[in-house]
Structures are given as C-alpha cells and as structure tokens.
Structure 1
Amino acid sequence: MKIVLIIALPLFCFFTGFAVAQNDCDCNFEDYKEKINIINNRDSLEVSKLADQLKSTKIPACIFKSLELEFKLYLAQLKLEKSHEALNKLEEFSAKTKCENQFKFSIYLNKVRYFKLTNDYERLSDFAFKALKKAEELKDSDKEIEAIKKVVYLFTRMNEDAKNWDYIKRAQKLIFKEQEFIQSIKNYRWLAYEYEKKYTSTGRKSLLDSVFIFAEQSKRGALKLKMHDELAQSYRALEAYSYHKGEARNALRFIDSAIYFAERIKGSKNLSGLYLSKSWDHLDLGENELAVKWMDTSFAKIVSNDVAGLMMQHLDASDLYEQAGRLDKAYKSFRIYTKMKDSIFNTERVEVINELETKYKTELKEAQIKKLIVLLVIASLVIVCIVLVGSMIQLRKTKQKNHELKLAFEKQIKLEKELSDVRDEIAQDFHDDLGNKLARISLLSNLISGEVSIRNPKVKSKIQQISEDANGLYKGTRDFIFSLKSNSNYLEEVTTYLSDFGGDMFDKTKVKFVVNKNISNNIKLPYHWSKQLIFIFKEALTNALKHSKSRMVALSFNYNDQELVIICEDDGMGVLESDLESLNGLSHMKARANKIDCQLTINSSIGKGTTIIFKGKLKENSIE
C-alpha cells in the first residue's frame, strides 16, 4: 500500500500543478477565437485593433496571441524582415513566461509559415514534424490538424504525393470529430483541395463526389459569415469539380465567382491560381486565344517572391500553351520550370527532408513504447503489493522474453521499411528522370515539326515518329514503375490498376466492360506477382478488344482459402483449340504465369468466346 501511495502522490501533485499553471496560458478574451478566424490576416486595421485589445488584458496567453497576430500580418504583407523580427519577439516573450511549453506548438507552426514563404524546405520540414509531435503531446486535435496540413504541403511541393494520403486520412478523422464551426469551414475546404489533387493523380471518380461535398459544406459556412477568403477558395474547389466532370461552362461560372470574392479580400493577395484555372476552362471549351490571354494574366497576378508557386505555374503553363498551339511559350515555360525545380529540390535537400520525417516517426514510436513501459511498470508495482514476492522472478523472465521479441519485431519492421523506401525511391527517380527527358524530346519534336517546311514531308514524318516513339516509351514504362513501388504488392492496388486500364481502353468503344471483385481482405502478393499479373491481363484485355469482336468483356477477381483466381472472359468469335498453342501472345502469358509458379488456363471455341483463368496459391501470412 505504501508503494502505491508513493507513486500516486507525486502523480497527483504533478497533474494538479499542471492544471493550476494553465490559468495564464489560455486566452479566453471575449470571443477571441471567433474574431481571429473571421478577420483576414491582410486587414491591417482590424488586426492591429484586435492586437491592442489583447495586449490590454495583460494575460500572457493573450499578449502572445497579439504578437502572433502582428507576425501573421507582416507575413501576409510579404515583409520578410519585419516578420522575422516579430517571430523573434514571439520566442523571447515565450521564454520569459511559465507557459513556454504550451506556446511551443505555436512557435513551431509560425516558423513553418515563415520558412514556407522563404522556400527553406529543410527547416520547414524540421519544424513541421516538431509541431506535429508537440500537438500529439498536448492531445489537441485542432493543433494536430494544422500541423498535418503543413506536412502535406511539404510533400506536395516535393512531388511526393504518395506519402500524403495517410496524413490526409489521419487529419480527416480528426476533422469529422471537431465541433468548432468556423475552423471546420477552413478544414473542409482543405479536404476538398486534397481530394481533388488525389483524383488528378489516380483518376478515381469516386473521389470527385467527396470534393463536391466538402467544398459545398465549406461554402455554406463561409457565406453565412461572409468570409471572402474562404468563399474564393471554396468556389475554386467547385470549379475543379466541374472541370473534372467535363462541365466546362459550370466550371467557368464557379471560377468567376471565386475571382469576384477574391478581389474583395483586403490587403495583399495572390490571384494567379484563379486566373490559371480560368485559362484551363477556356481551353477546355476550345477558346484557345482566351486561354492564352488568361494564362498571361495569371503570371501578372502572381506574387513575385513566391518561388515555389511560380515554379508550378510554369509547369502548368507549358502544358496549356502547348495544347493551345503556342509551342514557343510552352518551351520557354518548361525550361524555366526545369531550372527552378533543379535549384529548389536538389537530391541532397530531398534526402535531408526524408531523414527528418523518418526521425519524427522513430521518435513517435519510441515515445509510445516508453509510455507503454511506464504503464506496465505501474501496473506491475500494484500487482507486487497484492501477490507473493516469488512472482517477481517469473515477471522478470517474462519481461526479458517480451524485450527479445520486441527487438526481433522492430528489426523485421525496420528491414521491411528500408526495402520499401528503396523501392519507392528507385521508382520515383526513374519516373522523374525518364519522364522529364521524354517530355522534353516530345516537346522539342513538336516544336521542330512546326518549323519544318511542308515541302519536306519525309523529314516532318520522321520528326513526328520521334515524338510518337517518345510518348509510347513513356507510357510503356508505367507498368514497370508501378511494379517497383512498394504498395504494388497489394492485390487491391493491382485490381484498381487493371480495372482503370480496362475502363479507359473500352470507354470509347461499343464493348461493355465489367469488373467483379470478391476480395474481403487486404492481400499482400509475393514479390514480382504484380508485374506478371499486369502484363498477363493487359495482354488479355488488349487481345479481346482487337481480335475477339465481342460485345462484352468481364474481368473477375476472387480470393478464398489462400487461393487467388482471376478470370478474363469475352463473348466473341473464339479461337480453335488447335490454334491456341501456336499464338505467341497466349504462350507468352502462360510463360509469365509459370515464372511465379502459378497456373494459366485458356479455354476457347468458335462462336463461344474465350476465357483466361489464372490460379495462384498464397501463404497464410499474406493477409494484413
């Protein structure tokens, strides 16, 4: 009993003292949170007025908030020197108070904002992960959401969107739980943007429904409170939704609404992205001259020191100018983008940022393990007060075994993660390097083709062939790059890849394409299976379209009792059984199945179509 009291009393004192120390560390000045969320950071008059009111309270937390308001104002006005001075004042004031630990999150997040504007991505990543870790320590979901947003921004700028989705889904769970109305307006708009980005990279149409729902929810709240900044961004999300749905006129209507509200934002603002979207809408409507005009306007509207934004603007511009027939402008923008990308994201910098993320995850795991160990120790001490002293010997043996198992498990996880990281890095480097060069070959070929005289058709034909070969080579490498990625080992990814391929291929034909899935678990495939499965069934679907003369093609995925069965069948003209072995494409498909110790059966007869059946046995530990 004495041992329990010895442990409990310090814990009680610690938590009680902590609660008392919180009094000066919370700013409950009137409806401060509501005011600061509605006031735009660029409105210097309103910001200064609120800052003075906060300082007059003489409460440390409110004074800290007033200094933070001044920092954000300078940042919005792009006054880097003054914002740096204000950031230093924040740190100095925090260090003099008893609330330094509670203020640390805000310090970290404000440093992220500053380094975002100065394009210092190494220090941005350092403080983004520090902010996330601090938010977790404080168990504050609002702070955690804000920190996750910065991490997502970081990986988006690094072109590592594959890392973002886990963080986005983690923030989404927290956003769905929150009750604060004004903050939810911003958070739902952010979700709409991130879902739209995910759609552009995956093409999954179900994501568009979420974009519309999130954007509408944000818009309704912003209209109610007349938040022009959020209205502009919500309408921008609705424009993207309509654009992807092929509703160009609706998209143009939404983007004009976004520009209308954006123009009413007080203070400095960056409208280049809105005019860029307007340009794409005109291009989609076939209005090429207007598209070029508004693209030129978007460059005039961009903030001069937004280097990262300007870089991505030139990438979009090169694509739009090319489609609008202005190859001279397209080539110029692509060269600027490449040069800026090389200067901002060199290999060493990306490696440093990835190391910081790994460090954050490692520290997070260690903190969780330490917390678990502390709880186990306390529980063990309570048990010692009740049970016999002899049980301690058995407890020590159990702890030793658990420790050895934990070390073995951590070692296995570390090795698997290192292999996964290497595969993803190889795939990314291969894609970036080859993709940039092939895009440049294609762009230069188109440019030269336009300059070659029409009197020399042979030369022009060869240049066009170079462009087509470059495009074909780039498309042909996508299967290989997909198989390199670590998540390609999962059956769900393979089924999605083949379903999307079939959907795109049969979309503009009279053939009905059907996909059936009977998979209840997340199946991890053995290494190299995904590559062979993709090659086998892409060949099967292509043959069905080109040769079968069928009206319907069905692709089925079934998993039961550790056995994977994939079936591709059509109702076409069929092939004589005697001719099956002589067809090279079919024999190559069987050879690929044999490479991974699986079975491929092909059944066909004249007038009854063709059925291709793949069967493979998986180990029990493949299910996750």
Structure 2
Amino acid sequence: MDFRAINTIVFAFLITMCSFGQINCNCSIGSYLEKIELLNTRDSLEVFELSAELKKTKLEVCKFKALEIEFNYFITQLNEEKAFAVLNELEDYLGRINCESDLKFNIYINKAKYFKLHNNYEKLSEFAFKALKEAEYLKDSNKEIEAIKQIVYLFTRMDEDDKNWQYIKRAEKLIFKQSNPIRSVKNFRWLAFEYETKYTRTKRKPLLDSLFIFANHSKKGAKKYNIFDELALSYRALEAYSYHKGNAKNALKYIDSAIFYAKKIKGKKNLSGLYISKAWDHLDWGEKELAVKWMDTSFAYDTKDDIAGFMMHHLDATDLYEQAGRLDKALSSYQIHSRIKDSIFNTERTQVINELETKYKTELKDAKIKRLNVLLVITLLIIVSILLAGSVIQLKRTRKKNKILKRAIEEQERLEKELSDVRGEIAQDFHDDLGNKLARISLLSSLISGEVSIKSPNIKSKIKQINEDANGLYKGTRDFIFSLKSNSDYLEEVVTYLSDFGGDIFNKTEIKFTVEKHISTNVKLPYYWSKQIVFIFKEALTNAMKHSNCHTVKLSFGYQGYQLSIRCEDDGIGILESDLQSLNGLSHMKTRGIKIGCELLINSNIGEGTAVILKGNLKEDII
C-alpha cells in the first residue's frame, strides 16, 4: 500500500468519525429515559401518551423510540398483525435518520421478539444471535443482556439446559456490573426465575439461596419505583423459594401477595401462571381439591394467545392433576401439550437452530479477527499521523508559550522591583520626616521641662506626658516603617526584628529571654502578615514582662510543610480563664490573627504560665 492510499484511508476514517459525532442517535432529552424505563407497556393510555410526546420532539431518533414503544405494546397484547406493521415502519424509518450503526441492534432484538410471539424459533434464533453479535460490537452490556434473554428463552423451549446455563451465567456477570437501578429490578427478577428453573432440574440447594437474594433485591427496587408487574413477579419468585424449601404456608402468603399486585397492573395481563403456583402450594399443603380448583382457575385466566406458554401450562397441569388423583384431567392436558409441541418443534427445526448458533459463533470469531486487523492498521496510521501533526503543533505552541512566559516573568520582575522601590521610598520618607519630627518633639519637650520652674508642677506634668507620647509614637512608627520595607515580608526579617525587640525590653530586667528557630527556608510571607505578627508578639512579650512575674520567656519560630508556628511562652503566674475573654489586649491580638487568616491560641493556667501561639498555613504559590 503506497503512502497516498494510506492518507486517503486515514482521511476517510477521520471524516467518518467527525460526521458520526454530529448526529444525535440517542433520545436522552428531558426525563424521557426514565419514563421509558418505567413505562407499563400493557397500558395503552400510558403507552400512546408517551409515544405522542416523543413524536412532538425535534429529535428524529425520539420518533423512532416512539414507534418502538408502540411495537412493544402490541407484543404484550400478542397482536402479531399490528406488531409486524410497526416493525416494518421501524425499518423504513431507520434508513431516513442515518443512525443504522446505532440502532441496528434495536431492529434485530425487535425482530427476535416478533418471531418469539409468532413461535417461529428458527427466525427467533437467527435474530437473537444477530442482536447479541451487534451488542458485542457496540460493547453495550444492557443490549447483551436483552439479547441473551431471548436466547435463553429459545433454549429453554428446546430443553437445551447445558447451553442455556452458559448464557445465564454470562448475563449474570453483566447484570452485577449494571448501574441502572430500574433495569436491575427486571434483570434480578429474571435471574431469580432462571435459578428456579435450574434448581428444578438439578436440585442443587445453593441455587435456592441465590434465587432468594435475587428476588428480594428485585422486590425492594420494584416497591421503590411502584413497578407492579415486577413486584408481582418478585413475590412469585419468593413463593417458588418457599415452595422448594417445603414451607407451603409461606408460599401461599407470597403467591397471594403476587396476585394482589398483579391485579393492580393496568392493561391486558395473563394471571394464569400465578394461579398455577397457588395450585401447587395447596397440593404441597395436602389440599388436593383446592389444588385442582386453582389449576382449573388458572386455565380461566389464561388468554391462550401465547401458544408456547399455553403448551407449558398444560404440561404443568398434567403433573399436578396426576398427583391430585385426577387422572382424567391429567390425560387431557398431556394430549393438548403434545399436540401443541408437535406443531412447534420437530427434528429439522432443532437442527436448523443449532446450526444457526454454530454459525453465529464461527462468524463471531472471524469478525473479531478481521476487525482487529482493520483496527490495528487504522490505529497505527492514525497514531503516526497524529504524532507527526502533534509534534509540529506542539513545537509551535511550546515556542509561543516560552516567549509569552519569558515576557510574563520579565514583567513580573519589573513590577516587583518597582513595588519594592516604592515601599522603600515610602519607608524612608516616613523615617526622615515623621520620625525626625517626633524625635525633635521629644527633645524639645525635655529641654522645656528642664527650664520650667519646679513651682509649676501641672505644666511640667503635661510636658512630661507630651514627651512620653512622642516617644511611644516614635516607637510605633518604627514598626510601621519596618512593615513597609519589602524585605520585611520574609520570615527571617520578622524573627530578627522580634528577637531584637525582646532583647531590648528584657535586657534591663532579671527575666531570661531566649529565642528558638526551626526554619529550613527563608519563606516569604503574604503581604500584610509581617505587620500583624510583629504587633501580636510585641504585645505578648510586653505582657510577659509587665504582668507575668515570670523568670523566663521563650520565643519560638517553626516552619514545616507550609505550616507556620510562632510561640511566646513564659513560666509566670498565668491568667484566669474568665480573664482571657475580657482582657482587651488579648482580644486585639486575636483580631489581628483573624485578619491574616491565622489561628491564635492563648493557653494559660494559674501558677503554670502563659503561652501565646500563632498558627498559619502558607500556600505553595506565595513561597
């Protein structure tokens, strides 16, 4: 294959994929998905109301779904003629909406349902296996389960138990992986009945335990969503469990519940199966006359539209009538069963069905090999094309990003330098202007105080107050000027500043002042943090000096894993818990901690000292 041919294939494949993505082949608007799941297909009013709603939508695929709902309704009504007409309409419609690849399965499974109704088991087999093959191709587990159900029905009617069980276990694995709770109701109930059938043939007791679990799971979901037909069938499965366990009393309770909910189902329904179970329960209880009575009643409720079901009904009746001692009724039912079975099955038909399954398996293997080969070639071609195109595009993008990033870094560095220069200039101006004037006020007030006569104590006292206020304001200005400087944003600068402050105030006292530092990196603090931290711990150090009557004060700094911790601890007299809430200084310290998003803790016990602890979280992007 030459390079131009390869390019043509890749291009065609990509065009196909693009055009595929533009078509909506899923009716998922509004709440229609849940409405369809919960739809009672026996109720004509509910069915045709939803069908009309779907037909009014702008999505063609929803109109297809509307027809499919009508088809399933006619299937439940056992109306072959109308079901066939709608099935043909579905096939015609599929060609017009260009969704054949998505909805081909729907056509196959609906044909399987139709031929099941028609008792044409050759055709049922053909389309059930086609549906399964299509579901596997789509990798859709829900569709696989639906196809397998049709195949299991087919092999049950053919008494092909070994083949049947393989498909049941395959479906079981898929059902356990399902996430749709409404479908789980139906699927677990189906499993319960299949396990009952398997038990009746093998008498393996663990099968009954699984039956009970599946039936209860289905019943719980059916009650939640008010699905009466599934609720009735779940109780019927629980009845079967009790019956096989030998508890006829419980079995009768369950079957009466099943009949109660079944009668709530709107639309056409066949209750004969439930009355058959009730008959068997009475026979097990030893009530032969009641067993015969309820079996006779089951025939009164049988619509006789389902020929295969009617055949199995007479087979059940044959067994019950015989055990109840009514051999006349048993013989009559057996003769009817035999006539129906001969009309449906013969050796030639069985051979055709088995050949269809073999053909399905062979085609499946061949199709997988071909599909893998084609996908492998296409995948390799696409990967090569994408890598080539991606490399060129990525190279251009990387160059462009590098230029943008370089400009952004340069701009950020320029802005940071400008900001640092501005902060430095403001700090210098404050120091030169306000600081010098405050120092001059302090000096002048001292000179005036010396010149004022001792006989004027009031004036001298006020001058002294001016001097103290000027000195205090000057010291406070130093803190403000420190926070303005750009280097004050670094933790090491804050450590140095507070250490120096502590050293100054404790130098003239007998209190031992120590500093501990556990900082592995000079982390940069967010703007505004340094000022609040300085104010908090200057207050804490001053309080310790003036009020704690302590012997030692320790100031500790720690930083690890973006967690900042600063502690001021003394061994003084402590503070009463009631005073912790009322002292203004402590309250202001907590307020400052809140301003910078930090937690401030004050731990104190009488006679054990006081600890002021600040905890803050520094994100990676501010380091």
- TM-score of the superposed pair, with normalisation by structure 1: 0.59
User: Do the aligned residues in 2 keep the contact of 1:272 with 1:301 (CA within 8 Å)?
Assistant: yes
User: Do the aligned residues in 1 keep the contact of 2:228 with 2:264 (CA within 8 Å)?
Assistant: yes
C-alpha displacement at 1:81, in angstroms?
A: 1.7
Q: Does 1:94 align with 2:94?
A: yes
Task: State the match for 1:19 in structure 2.
Answer: 21
Task: State the match for 2:82 in structure 1.
Answer: 82
C-alpha separation between the residues in 1 aligned to 2:63 and 2:384? 50
Task: State the match for 2:433 in structure 1.
Answer: none
C-alpha separation between the residues in 1 aligned to 2:257 and 2:380? 64
Task: State the match for 2:217 in structure 1.
Answer: 217
Task: State the match for 1:124 in structure 2.
Answer: 124
- The percentage of counterpart residues that share the same residue type is 63
C-alpha separation between the residues in 2 aligned to 1:261 and 1:384? 61
C-alpha displacement at 1:196, in angstroms?
A: 1.1
Corresponding letter in the other structure for 1:14 = T
C-alpha separation between the residues in 1 aligned to 2:108 and 2:130? 7
Task: State the match for 1:262 in structure 2.
Answer: 262
Change in CA separation of 1:222 and 1:380 when aligned onto 2, cut-off 3 Å: closer
C-alpha separation between the residues in 2 aligned to 1:174 and 1:17? 31
Corresponding letter in the other structure for 2:76 = A
Q: Does 1:241 align with 2:237?
A: no
Change in CA separation of 1:238 and 1:12 when aligned onto 2, cut-off 3 Å: same
C-alpha separation between the residues in 2 aligned to 1:315 and 1:211? 23
C-alpha displacement at 1:50, in angstroms?
A: 0.8
3-state SS of 1:90 partner: helix
Task: State the match for 1:284 in structure 2.
Answer: 284
| 1:483-505 deviation digits (Å, cap 9, x = unpaired) | xxxxxxxxxxxxxxxxxxxxxxx
Q: Which moved more, 1:314-323 or 1:83-92?
A: 83-92
C-alpha separation between the residues in 1 aligned to 2:36 and 2:97? 23
Task: State the match for 1:456 in structure 2.
Answer: none
Task: State the match for 2:324 in structure 1.
Answer: 324
Corresponding letter in the other structure for 2:372 = L
User: Do the aligned residues in 1 keep the contact of 2:10 with 2:382 (CA within 8 Å)?
Assistant: no
C-alpha displacement at 1:7, in angstroms?
A: 6.1
| 1:388-433 deviation digits (Å, cap 9, x = unpaired) | xxxxxxxxxxxxxxxxxxxxxxxxxxxxxxxxxxxxxxxxxxxxxx
Q: Structure 1: give runs of 5+ residues left out of the alignment.
A: 386-624
Matches within 5 A, 1:472-483: none
C-alpha separation between the residues in 1 aligned to 2:11 and 2:166? 40
Matches within 5 A, 1:178-197: 178-197=178-197
C-alpha separation between the residues in 1 aligned to 2:317 and 2:110? 32
User: Do the aligned residues in 1 keep the contact of 2:129 with 2:360 (CA within 8 Å)?
Assistant: yes
C-alpha separation between the residues in 2 aligned to 1:26 and 1:166? 32
| 1:517-570 deviation digits (Å, cap 9, x = unpaired) | xxxxxxxxxxxxxxxxxxxxxxxxxxxxxxxxxxxxxxxxxxxxxxxxxxxxxx
Task: State the match for 1:163 in structure 2.
Answer: 163
| 1:570-599 deviation digits (Å, cap 9, x = unpaired) | xxxxxxxxxxxxxxxxxxxxxxxxxxxxxx
C-alpha separation between the residues in 2 aligned to 1:65 and 1:384? 40
Task: State the match for 1:39 in structure 2.
Answer: 39
Change in CA separation of 1:6 and 1:360 when aligned onto 2, cut-off 3 Å: same
C-alpha displacement at 1:97, in angstroms?
A: 1.8
Change in CA separation of 1:110 and 1:292 when aligned onto 2, cut-off 3 Å: same
C-alpha separation between the residues in 2 aligned to 1:206 and 1:184? 22
User: Do the aligned residues in 2 keep the contact of 1:41 with 1:76 (CA within 8 Å)?
Assistant: yes
Corresponding letter in the other structure for 1:210 = S
C-alpha separation between the residues in 2 aligned to 1:177 and 1:237? 22
Task: State the match for 2:137 in structure 1.
Answer: 137
C-alpha separation between the residues in 1 aligned to 2:383 and 2:278? 69
Corresponding letter in the other structure for 1:76 = T
3-state SS of 1:106 partner: helix
**Aligned residues between the structures:** 383
3-state SS of 2:305 partner: coil
Task: State the match for 1:64 in structure 2.
Answer: 64
Change in CA separation of 1:63 and 1:292 when aligned onto 2, cut-off 3 Å: same
User: Do the aligned residues in 2 keep the contact of 1:54 with 1:63 (CA within 8 Å)?
Assistant: yes
C-alpha separation between the residues in 2 aligned to 1:381 and 1:96? 33
C-alpha separation between the residues in 2 aligned to 1:170 and 1:291? 37
Q: Does 1:341 align with 2:341?
A: yes
C-alpha displacement at 1:244, in angstroms?
A: 0.8
User: Do the aligned residues in 1 keep the contact of 2:42 with 2:73 (CA within 8 Å)?
Assistant: yes
| 1:4-63 deviation digits (Å, cap 9, x = unpaired) | 866655443333332223x2x110121112112212101111111111110111311100
Name the larger-Rg structure: 2
C-alpha separation between the residues in 1 aligned to 2:199 and 2:117? 27
C-alpha separation between the residues in 2 aligned to 1:325 and 1:17? 70
C-alpha separation between the residues in 2 aligned to 1:373 and 1:107? 28
Matches within 5 A, 1:416-435: none
Task: State the match for 2:53 in structure 1.
Answer: 53
C-alpha displacement at 1:202, in angstroms?
A: 1.0
C-alpha displacement at 1:367, in angstroms?
A: 0.9
Corresponding letter in the other structure for 1:323 = Q
3-state SS of 1:370 partner: helix
Change in CA separation of 1:230 and 1:239 when aligned onto 2, cut-off 3 Å: same
C-alpha separation between the residues in 1 aligned to 2:383 and 2:44? 61
| 1:135-193 deviation digits (Å, cap 9, x = unpaired) | 11211111111011111011111111211111111111111111111111111111111
